[in-house]
Amino acid sequence: MRASLFDRAIDLVGHRNLRFRSVPGLDMERRPYQISSSIRTKLAKARVARFATLDAESRPHLVPVCFAYDGSVFYTAIDKKQKRLVPEKLARVRHIKARPRVALLIDEYYEEWTRLWYVLVRGTAKLIPKSATKERNKVIRQLRKKYPQYAAGMLSDDAPIIRITPQRIAFWGKF
């Protein structure tokens, strides 16, 4: 009997014991699904994510970002790294305002492929208004705690903050 294409691909890299799951981010009552503690640990240690938005012609735009996860939503900020445009004119900000559907990919690559993993978040993004001071302050504290560069001044108190609310989360790898 012939092995399925999936089984053959798994056999090629020796990942037979790895999990592949796709989990809706929200149930009918709009309560976030719980992400396992092992995945939360990977997310806390991960240093970079890739943030994808869509332009007006549905072309993807992808940028690397720093991020924080609070147990139900993800956050990223527009920091002080040199950019060609002011934050309000950046593609990701313009795209979110026009089409809030986004994706966030957090992963880790190793030459030893049995250690590979990823978490793919699909959801909606929103710029947190300056008036939401409690949420903004909490996020800025989280980001500064996670990233020493932000604590050293690369993240201003008035930085634009993006909240990513998951609608679907897929993950793969050893967790």
Distances (CA, A) of 72 to 3, 46, 60, 158, 169: 39, 17, 25, 23, 11
User: How many structural domains is the chain composed of?
Assistant: 1
For the stretch 79-136, pLDDT in tens is: 766 666 566 778 899 999 999 999 999 999 999 999 999 999 999 999 999 999 999 9
Alpha helices in the chain (DSSP H): 5-13, 37-45, 91-98, 133-146, 148-149
**Residue in this structure with the two tokens 């240690």, named with its chain if needed:** 45
pTM above 0.85, yes or no: no
Give the integer Cα–Cα distance in Å for 103 and 109.
19
Domain span including residue 86: 5-173
Residue 31 pLDDT > 70: no
Q: What is the CATH number of the domain that holds 11?
A: 2.30.110.10
For the stretch 44-64, pLDDT in tens is: 999 999 999 999 889 999 999
Residue 35 pLDDT > 70: yes
Give the integer Cα–Cα distance in Å for 36 and 54.
29
